[in-house]
């Protein structure tokens, strides 16, 4: 038995000789690189290299890669993870078990969570003009809504505190309370992860 380092394939002596002259060997590195990326299908690899799909399937097996169906499942999982809203990524990093439901909602500790964005908004006129962050009431069902602030932090509010259509708040301490003083308590809810309960594992 001989072993091709490039393709990481084990072959018998005669097969090895034939292999070193083959297109598979010439493009061995490329084939491996493509097989390592789960979102490239066997059919796509076959098309790019000029082999049949069945040949690629056999090669993948010989090279020790997962079968096509598993690759597809892994690809889907990786894609979902990449698209996961920042709030859920952060929650996961904090040790919470995140169960994705869709692109913008997930169960965290049995609570239905969603993510929205907070935008800067001018309030008042002339000298009484202040810039606050504006948040809107989310439509639909949820237990907890997290608004991503422009600085990357999250304002985390339970449903009970979201009885507004749109409201503004000041994310920083300031001397003037301005017109939106009543919503200043939202500041205490910035990064209030305890609302989600206890993480499964603590870091
Ligand atoms: Zn080879």
| pLDDT tens sequence across 81-91 | 777 889 998 99
Per-residue pLDDT averaged across 142-164, rounded? 94
Mean pLDDT on 10-20: 91
> In angstroms, what is the span from residue 177 Cα to ligand 1's centroid?
71
Mean pLDDT value of segment 61-78: 88
Report how far ligand 1's centroid is from the alpha carbon of 11 (Å): 9
Q: Is 90 exceeded by the pLDDT of residue 183? A: no
pLDDT band at 103; cut points 50, 70, 90: confident
Give the distance (Å) from ligand 1 centre to CA of residue 44: 20
pLDDT of residue 175: 60
Give the pLDDT band (50/70/90) at residue 203: very low
pLDDT band at 178 (very low <50, low <70, confident <90, very high): low
**What is the 170 CA–ligand 1 centroid distance (Å)?**
63
Mean pLDDT, residues 98-126: 88
Structure tokens given for 161: 């505190």
What pLDDT is recorded for position 126? Answer: 78
Confidence category of residue 177, pLDDT binned at 50, 70, 90: low
pTM of this prediction? 0.59
Burial call 8-46: b when 16+ CB within 10 Å, e when fewer:
ebebeeeebeebbeeebbebbeebbebbeebeebbeebb
Task: Provide the mean pLDDT of the chain.
Answer: 88
Q: How far is the CA of 25 from the centre of ligand 1 (A)?
A: 4
pLDDT band at 174 (very low <50, low <70, confident <90, very high): low
pLDDT above 80 for 182 = no
What is the model's pLDDT at position 46? 95
pLDDT value, residue 77 = 81
More confident residue, 112 or 23: 112
Asked if residue 201 has pLDDT above 90, the reply is no
């Amino acid at each position: 038995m001989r072993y091709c380092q490039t393709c990481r394939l084990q072959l018998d002596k005669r097969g090895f000789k034939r292999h070193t002259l083959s297109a598979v060997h010439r493009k061995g590195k490329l084939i491996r690189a493509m097989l390592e990326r789960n979102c490239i299908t066997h059919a796509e690899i076959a098309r790019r290299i000029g082999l049949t799909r069945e040949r690629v399937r056999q090669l993948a097996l010989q090279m020790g890669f997962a079968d096509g169906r598993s690759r597809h499942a892994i690809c889907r999982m990786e894609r979902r993870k990449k698209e996961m809203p920042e709030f859920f990524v952060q929650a996961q990093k904090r040790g919470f078990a995140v169960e994705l439901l869709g692109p913008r909602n997930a169960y965290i500790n049995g609570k239905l969570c969603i993510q929205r964005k907070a935008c800067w908004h001018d309030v008042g006129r002339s000298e009484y003009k202040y810039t606050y962050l504006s948040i809107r009431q989310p439509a639909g069902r949820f237990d907890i809504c997290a608004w991503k602030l422009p600085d990357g932090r999250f304002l985390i509010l339970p449903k009970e505190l979201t009885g507004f259509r749109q409201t503004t708040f000041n994310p920083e301490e300031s001397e003037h309370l301005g017109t939106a003083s009543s919503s200043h308590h939202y500041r205490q809810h910035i990064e209030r992860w305890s609302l989600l309960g206890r993480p499964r594992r603590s870091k």
